[in-house]
Amino acid sequence: MAVFAECPVCHKKQSVRTKLCHCGEDLDKAKRSQKVRFWISYYLPGRKQKRECIGFSIQEARDAEGKRRSQKRENARSGTTRDKTG
């Protein structure tokens, strides 16, 4: 599970900690002016990777990531019994 920041210029998705994109865009500045789109990526059962666009706020991205994480935990907990009964 990870949060990615999308460069507004070249649309490369990269770590939110990246300050300068390889294309030369100042991501720190772009984040402050809310030009950077945030994505979360996580794995579904069956090793499927899912990416979701959250929006322009890293706080929302973090919230969404936390929500997904607890959902996953709940699924794992109930899934073990539910799967067998149908």
Residues lying near Zn ion in the complex (CB under 5 A) are found at: 7, 9-10, 21, 23, 25
CB of 26 to Zn ion, least distance (A): 10
Whichever of 12 and 72 has its CB closer to Zn ion, that residue is 12
CB of 77 to Zn ion, least distance (A): 40
Tell me the three state secondary structure of residue 66.
helix
CB of 4 to Zn ion, least distance (A): 13
Tokens of 30: 């772009």
Whichever of 21 and 64 has its CB closer to Zn ion, that residue is 21
Contacts 24+ apart (CB under 8 A), 29-34: 31/5, 31/58
Whichever of 5 and 64 has its CB closer to Zn ion, that residue is 5
CA distances from 58 to 43, 52, 73 (A): 20, 13, 22
